[in-house]
Amino acid sequence: MNKVGLQDEPWLDDDAGRLVRPYTVSNGRTRPTTTMELLSMVTATGRVPRAHLEPDHARALGLCDSPTTVAEVAAHLRLPAVITKVLLSDLVDFGAVSTRAPDPAADPTDRSVLEALLNGLQRRL
């Protein structure tokens, strides 16, 4: 699946930002069905979901072609982390992505981990 830039998104205005409220993207849900952390890795499984994917689900799936953190997906989608987790947990439920907890060495308060995450985000954006 190709990675879709938000510039192609009709619901995004360069000045105003996202024109659709984040809770609308998740159908008002704020709790994911799968537990994930910001540094959890998500990867596409190659299985095609049987359900129709909403545009944000499809974009999230496209970002998971290679192992990617929840934080990176949220940054690319320009969505709050909790909404991104709901989208990704839907994809887990569909069997389209798998998730794994971050490496125990990936302490979210460790400066080197945070710098590595920031560097990765800057390279991808």
Question: Tens digit of pLDDT for each residue in 28-83?
Answer: 666 888 999 988 999 999 998 888 888 889 999 999 999 999 999 998 888 888 89
Comparison of pLDDT for 119 and 12, the residue scoring more? 119
Q: How many domains does the chain have?
A: 1
Region 2-19: mean pLDDT is 47
Confidence (pTM)? 0.68
Q: How far is the first Cα of the chain from the last one, in angstroms, to the nearest whole number?
A: 18
Residue 98 lies in a domain: yes
Q: Please state whether beta strands 68-69 and 41-44 pair in parallel, antiparallel, or not at all (unpaired).
A: antiparallel
In a domain, 1, yes or no: no
Instruction: Look at residue 78 and tell me if it is in a domain.
Output: yes
Supply the range of the domain harboring residue 60: 6-124
For residues 65 and 115, what is the distance between their CA atoms, to the nearest angstrom? 23
Can you give the pLDDT at residue 119? 73
